[in-house]
Amino acid sequence: MTEAQATPRTGKRVLLAKPRGYCAGVDRAVQTVEEALKLYGAPIYVRKQIVHNKHVVQTLEAKGAIFVEENEEVPEGATVIFSAHGVAPEVYEQARERSLRAIDATCPLVTKVHQEAKRFAAEDYDILLIGHEGHEEVIGTAGEAPAHIQLVDGPDGVDKVTVRDPNKVVWLSQTTLSVDETLETVARLKTRLPLLQSPPSDDICYATSNRQHVVKEIAPECDVVIVVGSRNSSNSVRLVEVALDAGARAGHLVDFAHEIQDEWLTGADTVGVTSGASVPDELVQDVLAHLAERGFTGVEEITTANERLTFSLPQELKRDMKAAASARG
């Protein structure tokens, strides 16, 4: 047996999750800011963090993006990009009032949930939105039909639900939740509301589901799972929870490799590594290098799905890029 073959079983090893990192919606959102900076020049204003990742935000700031909380902070007539998490209709209205050139980088899978909310509200349903209170995506979706939507923040929020007509009620969800916890919430809702309808297709996005699935695969073998991601990233936080629920003995969330504490690795033979959907892979490579310096040199990539989905850039940006190209030509 070669040393390489022996390493996964006897030496310190890393189980590297795949898929991990950037999803199609994040890739599109980050690319939207980069292309807007090239096309219109700095500064480009971005309402909220374009994606929930500290490194990505810092990198785009260095290129000339200015991140703001609200449209009022954007000079009249300037360009503003709305983040991947989506916004309520009133945000578009505010942008129009300030004559802002608005580019919508909302993930198409979040837009799908917005469309569902509008459709069910138009049919006068009560909509139970499963999600985390205060999360930007929840605020945006709820803003589509505030009179019809009530938030259910996990299984413990079920008892607070009241509906007008138990025959006309549907659940939708934030796209970045724990799959298992959402199923538990829905099961509890259905004990109270047996006629509760489900969304036409799953609201939790493919990338969130896939990243949780591979973590469940590797967690039982891991002494510790390190998730690369920011604390305000819902899907990254969920990955730590999923790892612990699936049998990892410890789990930690870090933005950067230098945040890994040596005591986490004391006595560990197997370390799992993954990253949230808004994390560039260079940060994962930094973590692998950090672990290799501490003896974790055998890396085994565990793959449970191959992701090929891509999303095209926002229409308003593509139109202006095409016009600029024609002008140059």
Binding positions for isopentenyl diphosphate are: 52, 85, 135, 233-235, 278
Q: What's CA 116's distance to the chain center, in Å?
A: 19
- Is residue 199 scored above 60 in pLDDT? yes
* pLDDT (tens digit per residue) in 34-86: 999 999 999 999 999 999 999 999 999 999 999 999 999 999 999 999 999 99
Is the CB of residue 211 less than 8 Å from the CB of residue 234? Answer: no
pLDDT confidence of residue 177: 96
Count of CA atoms in the C-beta half-sphere (13 A) of 26: 24
Q: Which of 82, 77, 185, 91 is nearest to 130 (CA)?
A: 185
Binding positions are: 23, 52, 85, 107, 135, 175, 205, 233-235, 278
Q: Which of 236, 319, 293 is nearest to 20 (CA)?
A: 236
Binding positions for [4Fe-4S] cluster are: 23, 107, 205
pLDDT confidence of residue 191: 97
Residue with tokens 């793959």: 303
- Cross-strand partners of 172: 129
Radius of gyration of the chain measured on its C-alpha atoms:
22
pLDDT confidence of residue 328: 87
- Cross-strand partners of 128: 150, 171
Q: Which pTM value belongs to this model?
A: 0.94
Average pLDDT over residues 2-31: 80
φ, ψ of residue 246 in degrees (nearest 5): -90, 0
- Is residue 3 scored above 50 in pLDDT? no
- Is residue 9 scored above 60 in pLDDT? no
Residues with Cβ < 8 Å from 235, sequence gap 6 or more?
176, 207, 208, 211, 229, 276, 277, 278
* pLDDT (tens digit per residue) in 235-246: 999 999 999 999
Average pLDDT over residues 171-185: 97
* pLDDT (tens digit per residue) in 87-143: 999 999 999 999 999 999 999 999 999 999 999 999 999 999 999 999 999 999 999
How does the average pLDDT of the chain come out, rounded?
A: 95
- Is residue 2 scored above 90 in pLDDT? no
Question: Sorting pLDDT into bands at 50, 70 and 90, what band is 10?
Answer: low
Average pLDDT over residues 272-299: 98
Q: Which residues are catalytic?
A: 137
Q: At what angle do helices 24-40 and 108-122 cross, to 10 degrees?
A: 110
Share of the chain above pLDDT 70, in %: 97
